[in-house]
Structure 1
Amino acid sequence: MKSGSLKLTILLLAALGAGLHGCAANPVTGEQDLSLMSEEREIALGKKNHPEIVKQYGVYDDPELQAYVDRIGQRLVKQSHRSNLTYTFTVLDTPEVNAFALPGGYIYITRGIMAYMNSEAELAAVLGHELGHVTARHGVQQYSKAMATTLGMTLATIFVPELRTDVSQQLMNILGSAMLSGYGREDELEADRLGAEYLARTSYEPKAMIDVIGILKNQEEFEKERAEKEGREPRVYHGVFASHPSADTRLQQVVAAANKYKRNGSKPGHINRESYLTQLDGVVFGDSVNQGIRRGNAFYHDGLNFSLTFPKGWQLSNEPKALSAISPGRDAAMEVRLVELKKDEKLTAKQVMTSKLKLGKLEQEGSVPGSRLPNHSAIARIATPFGRRNARVSVVLYKDRVYAFFGATKTDELLKQTDPMFLKVTASMHGLTARERKWAKGLRIDIVKVGRDTSFKALARKSPIPNYPERLLRLINDKYPDGELKAGEAVKIIH
C-alpha cells in the first residue's frame, strides 16, 4: 500500500473512531459515497451557518417576493430525492449575480440574479440546480474530501482582528470555494440534470435550464469585458453555466432526458413569464439604499447622510459591515466601517483607536488634512489583506457615529506613495448635498409594455443606468446582444 493511501486510511479510521460516518448511500444514486458527516450533522451545520449568511448579505425586505420564491422552491422539494428535509429558501439583498446552497436544506438566491431571469420556469431552474446540490450531497462530499485530506481555505482577511465577523468557521472554510466557484464540472452537470428532472416533475419546462445558462453566459461575457475595461476582477456566478456552455452536448442530453418525467407527455411545460415579471416589478436593482449606493468612484449613503470619493479606477465593494476599495493593480486597498460604541459612551477619535480598535504603537499621529470633521489619524501595524504590516488608520466622528478608515499596501515603500491618497479619501467624507441625495436613491425594476416604435436605444437614453445602459437593458430582457422589442411586449426598465 502506498504511503498516501495508508495516511488516508488512518485518517478515515480515526474519523470513524470519533463517531463520524465513513460511507453513506447517496440519496440520488443509491451508491456508497465517502461521507464523514451524518445527515443530522449536515442539518446542524447548515442551521448553524445560516445566520452568518444572512448577516453577511442581508435578507431582501419584500415578504411577498420571499413567499413567492419559497413557494416555487417547496414545489420543487416535493419532487426531489430528499423531500424529508426541511428547506429554507431565502432571497438575499445583494446585487451580486449568485445562488448557492448550504448542506441540510438552506438555499439562497440573490435579487441580483433574479433581475436577469424572465420567467418563473427560469427561477425554478436556478432553485432546482441548487436543490440538486443538496439532494446529491455535493457539499457533504466536498466537506468529507477536504477533511480526509486536511484541505481547506480561508474566505477572507479583514484589517482588524478585533472587528472580525465570523462568517466562515469550519464548514464555511471548506465549502467556501465551492459556493463561490462551483463544485466542479461533474457535480455541476449532475445538479443541472437533477434540476431539470425536478422542473419536469413539477410541470415546468425543463429547457428553462438551458435558457438560464444562455442568459447567464451572456451576463458573464459582458461582465468580463466590462471588468477588463474598468481594471478589476469580474464578478460572475459559479453555478449553472460556469462549467459548460448552453450548447454543451452532455448538458443538452441530460436536460432532454428529463422530458420523460413530464406529467403532460410531449406538451411544453409551464413558463409563467407574466407571473414572474409581476413579482419582479419594483424590486431594487443594483446597490441597496439601506447599504449605500456606488456610482463610479463615489459612494453615497442616504440613511447615514454622507458621501465619499475614491480614486478613479478603484473597485468598490459594498458589504453590510464594510465598504472596501482596491486599486487597479490590486496592490493597495481601503476599508471603511462603523465602530460600535456602547450607549452613551463618549470617546475621542484617538480613544477609539486605542480602546476600540486596540491598536498598539501609533506613529505619524495627527489630524486628517482637509477634513472638517473631528478625527485622528496614525500609522499602525495591523493585519491587512497583504499580511501584517504598517497601514494608515483614521477615525472620523460624524453625526453621533464613529467611522474607521484603513488603508494598506503590499509594501511599506508603496505605503509612502499611497498614503496621501488614503488621507484624501478620508477627508472627502461630508454630508450629502441636494444633488448627491438624488444620486443616493436606489434604482428599481419597472415592468412596462412597449409601443410599436420603442427600441432599446430609446429606452437607454432615458435610463438612469450610468454605464452601458443599452447593453444592460438587453441583458436583463434576454435580448443580448442585438435582439429588438415587439409591440405590446412586457419588458424590464430601470428607474
Structure 2
Amino acid sequence: MIAAAASSALLPVALAAQSARYLNPREVAEAQQQHAALVEEFGGAETGQRAAYVQSVGQRVAAYSGVANPGQSFRFTTLNSAVENAFAVPGGYIYITRQLMTLMNDESELAFALGHEAGHVAANHAQQRERVQRRNSIYGVFGAILGSVFGSSAVGNLLSQQAQLRTLSFSRQQEYDADRLATQYLARSGYDPAGGPGILAALARSGALEARVQGRETRSTPEWASTHPLSENRARQAQVMAQQTGRLGTGIRNRDHFLAQLDGTYVDDDPAQGVIEDVYFRHPGLRLQFAIPVGFQMQNGTRSVSISGSGGQAEFGGGGYQGPLESYAARVLQELGGGQRIAIAQPERTTINGMPAAVTATRAQAGSSWVDVSVVAYQWDRDTVYHFVMITRAGQGIGPFRSMVNSLRRLTPAEAAAIRPRVVDVVTVRAGDTVQSLASRMAYRSFRLERFLSLNGLAANSALSPGQKVKLVVYGTRRS
C-alpha cells in the first residue's frame, strides 16, 4: 500500500529494489531488430513535432523508472494506427498509437500512458511470466487460423515476412503494478497524478461507447490489440493511488499545449491504407472498393483487410503478380498450406464486374469438423492481382461471402478524391455553443453527441464556457 505523504512511497519499485537496473542486452538487440518491421506493420511511425513531443514526455517520466541511463535505454514511437493501444517490448522500446492519443485531454494523461509502459519495462514483467507469441499483422492472425486448419506449423514460415512480432500480454496484477509505478513516476516528475484516472476513464468511456455502436459499425479490434484490461474498476483504483501520493490536483497538466500538439491528428483510418466506413472498404490510392456482408466486421491492416463473423472468416490482399491467374489462385492455397500436399479444386475462370477472375477451393479438417477454404483471385491489371481467402463451414463454399466477392469494383477518380480522413479539430467554445451544437459538427453518421461527449469527458448536461477548448472530429485533407 502506498503511504499518503511519505517520500519513500514515491520511490519506484524497480529503484527501491536496486540502485539502477540495466536492460538485458539481448532483449535490447531484439527490440532494435524488430523495430522497423513492427513500425511498418502498424502503419508507420509519425515524425516531426508531435513525435518529438511524445518522446520528450516519455523521457521525462522514464527518468524516474530506476532503469539505468533512461535517456538512452528508452525509445518512444508514435504509431500511425487506428487502434487505441500502447505497449512496450522488452528492450525499452515503447509504442503509442495516434488513436489512443486522441482520447486524451492533457499532457498528464499522455505521461501516465507512457509511464505505464515504462513501468512494465522497469519491473521486468516480461521475465515474470511465460512469453506469449503473437502475430501482429492481420495476415498473421488469419494465418494462425489457417495454420490450425491445415495442421501446419509451416504456415508460420510463410508469415515470417509479415512481421510476426512479439508483444506481451501481462497479468491483471502486473497491469495494476504498472499503473502504480506510472502514478509514482508522474508525481516524482512534477505531473498531476490525475492523469492516470483521466486516461483510464477515457478508455472506459470509449469501450462503453464501442459496445453501444457494435452491430451498427463494422470495425473490429483485433485480439492482439487487447493487451491491457480496460475497466471502470481500474480507473477507480488509479484515482485512489493518485490521492495517496498527496499531490492530486497539483502539478503539470499542460492541457492547451497538449491539445495544440493533438490538433490535426488523424482519427480512425489513414486513407493511404484505405478506410472502413459502414460496410465498405475503400482505398483511394488503389482506387478499389468492396462491401462486406451484414453481420460481419472488418479490421484494416497495412497489407491486408480481415473480415470476420459468425458465417466465417476472410481476408483481402494481393499485389504485384505476372502469370496465369489460375496459378495465382492455386498458389495462395498451397502457400497457406505450408507446403503440405493439398487437394485443390481445378481453378475455374469467370468474370466479376468486368474483371477476369479465378476461383478455387479445398476442404480441411479443423478439430472435429470440416471447413471449406476458398480463394477468389481478380486480374486487376496486367501486373496486379487481388484476392479473397475465405473459411466457411464445409459445404458452404463462398456462400456467406458471395455478395462480398461480387462487390469488388474500381472507384472512379471522383469517388477516390472524395475519400477524406477524419482529423482532430481543437476549437474554442464561443458564446451560445452547446454540447449539442458542437456535436452536430462531428464527422460521423451516427452517435455524434455520444462521441463528442466521450471524446471530451463531458456529460449531456455539461455547460460550456466561452474560451474553453474542446475536441471535434471533422473531415480533413489527405496528406500528400
TM-score (norm 2): 0.81
Q: Secondary structure at the match of 1:396?
A: strand
Q: Assess if the C-alpha contact under 8 Å between 1:128 and 1:195 holds in 2.
A: yes
Separation in 2 of the partners of 1:153 and 1:308?
Answer: 28
The correspondence of residues 92-171 of structure 1 with structure 2, limited to 5 A, is: 92-143=79-130, 156-158=141-143, 159=146, 161=155, 163-165=158-160
Of 184, 206, 212, 1:219 maps to 206
Looking at structure 2, the residues matched to 348 and 482 of structure 1 have their Cα atoms a distance apart, in angstroms, of 63
| Contact 1:307-1:432 within 8 A present in 2 as well | yes
Question: Which residue of structure 1 aligns with residue 473 of structure 2?
Answer: 494
Q: Which residue of 2 aligns with 1:193?
A: 180
Match of 2:477 in 1: none
Deviation at 1:166, TM superposition (A): 5.3
Q: Number of residue pairs matched? A: 435
C-alpha displacement of 1:370: 3.8
Q: Secondary structure at the match of 1:394?
A: strand
Q: 2:55 aligns with which of 70, 75, 94?
A: 70
Instruction: Report how far residue 208 of structure 1 moved.
Output: 1.3
User: CA 1:425 to 1:92, structure 2 compared with 1: closer, same or farther past 3 Å?
Assistant: same
For residues 129 and 316 of structure 1, what CA distance do their matches in structure 2 show? 30
Q: Distance in 2 between matches of 1:448 and 1:117?
A: 15
The residue aligned with 1:20 is none
Partner of 1:10: none
From the superposition, tell whether residues 230 and 465 of structure 1 become closer, same or farther in structure 2 (CA, over 3 Å): closer
Helix, strand or coil at the partner of 2:410: coil
Matched residue SS, 1:487 = coil
SS at match of 1:367: strand
The one of 284, 287, 307 equivalent to 1:302 is: 284
Deviation at 1:386, TM superposition (A): 11
Deviations 1:74-125 (A, max 9, x none): 1122222104252111111111111111111010101111010011111111
For residues 390-469 of structure 1, the aligned pairs below 5 Å read: 390-399=372-381, 400-409=383-392, 411-413=393-395, 415-416=396-397, 419-433=398-412, 436-437=415-416, 440-469=419-448
Aligned residue for 2:233, secondary structure, equals coil
Aligned to 1:19: none
Report the identity percentage: 26
Q: Which residue of 1 aligns with 2:9?
A: none
Could you say if the C-alpha distance between residues 374 and 384 of structure 1 is closer, same or farther in structure 2, counting changes exceeding 3 Å?
farther
1:351 pairs, out of 308, 315, 327, with 327
Classify 1:232/1:438 alpha carbon distance in 2 versus 1 (closer, same or farther; 3 Å). Answer: closer
Cα deviation code 1:349-404 (max 9, x no counterpart): 11323456646543263234543112211123579999984322011121442212
Equivalent residue for 2:315?
335
CA contact 1:452–1:486 (8 Å) conserved in 2? yes
Residue 228 of structure 2 corresponds to 239
Secondary structure at the aligned position of 1:466 is classed as coil
Judge conservation of contact 1:297–1:312 (CA < 8 Å) in 2. yes
Q: TM-score, normalised by structure 1?
A: 0.79
Spell out, residue by residue over 1:458-486, the C-alpha distance to the aligned partner (whole angstroms, 9 max, x if none): 23333321231211111111215653432
Q: 1:484 to 1:391 in 2, by over 3 A?
A: farther
> Contact (CA 8 Å) 1:300, 1:306: kept in 2 or not?
yes
Unaligned runs of 5+ in 1: 1-25, 32-36
Matched, 1:57 2:42: yes
Residue type of the alignment partner of 1:206: P
Cα offset, 1:229, TM superposition = 6.0
- Conserved 8 A contact 2:14-2:65: no
- Aligned ranges for residues 367-378 of structure 1 at < 5 Å? 367-368=349-350, 370-378=352-360
Note closer, same or farther for the CA distance 1:277–1:154 as it changes in structure 2 (3 Å cut).
closer
Q: What are structure 2's unaligned runs of at least 5 residues?
A: 1-12, 148-154, 336-341, 475-480
Q: Over the residues paired in the alignment, what is the CA RMSD in angstroms?
A: 3.2
2:36 corresponds to 1:41: no
